[in-house]
Amino acid sequence: MMSGYIFLAVLNGLLIGLSRALNGKLGLMIGPLRASFWNHLVGFVFLAAVLMILGGWSVENLSAAPALAWLGGTFGALFVATNSLVLPRLGAIRTVVLVICGQMVAGLLIDYLANDAAIEPLQLAGIAIIMLGVFAARLSGTRKASGTAGQSAAKTG
C-alpha cells in the first residue's frame, strides 16, 4: 500500500515536469506570458470537469478566507511565465534544481514569518546543503562555459 502511494507521489513529480515542459515549449511558440494564460485556462476547464464529476464545490466558508488567499493564481501566473522563459534557456535539470532551491528557502521563510514555526538546526543544515549544490552547479557551469570559449578561441586562433 505504501509503495503505491510512493509511486503516486513520484508520478505526480513527473506530471509537474511534463506540465512545465509543455509550457516551456509553448512559450517558445507564442511567448511565456501567453503560455501562462493558456496553462491556467486549460487547467481551469479541466478542474471544472473534475469538480463536476467528483463533486467538492465547497463554498460555505469562502467568505471567511482572507484576501491573500485569492492571490495564489496571480503568483502562479507569474511563476509559469518565468519558468517557461528560463527552462529552454537554462536546460531542464538546472531549472528544476534552481526552482527547488528558491521554493525550499522561501517556503521555510513563509513558515517562519507567517506561521510562527521555529527553524530547526536540521533545516538550517538542509538550506546550507541546497546552497552548496547550487553553488557547485554555478561553478561547474561557469567553468564549462569558459572552457568552450577557450576551445573556440583556440579554433579561431
Partner 1 sequence: MIGRSADWLSALAAGALLAVMIACNGLLAKHSAPVFASWAAHGTGAAAALLLVAGWSRIFKRQEAGTQKKGPAWAYLGGVPGALTVVLAAITTNSPLALSGTIAFMLVGQVIFGMAMDCFGLFGVAKRPFAATDVAVVALVLSGSVLLTFGGR
Site for partner 1, residues 89 to 148, rule: CB under 8 A:
89-108, 110-111, 114, 117-118, 120-123, 125-134, 136-138, 140-141, 145
| In the complex, least distance from residue 116 CB atom to partner 1, rounded to whole angstroms | 12
Give yes or no for residue 64 binding partner 1 (CB under 8 A). yes
Residue 77, number of CB atoms within 10 A of its CB? 15
- As to burial, measured by CB atoms within 10 angstroms (0-12 exposed, 13-18 middle, 19+ buried), residue 110 is exposed
Q: Figure out which of the listed residues 10, 147, 148, 150 binds partner 1, where binding follows CB under 8 A.
A: 10
Give the helix/strand (H/E) hosting 34.
helix 32-54
If binding is defined by CB under 8 A, does position 71 make contact with partner 1? yes
CA–CA separation, 36 and 76 (whole Å): 9
Q: What is the footprint of partner 1 within residues 31-60 (CB under 8 A)? A: 31-48, 50-51, 54, 56-59
Residue 153 found at the interface with partner 1 (CB under 8 A): no
Q: How far apart are CA 110 and CA 75, in angstroms?
A: 14
Q: How many residues bind partner 1 (CB under 8 A)?
A: 122
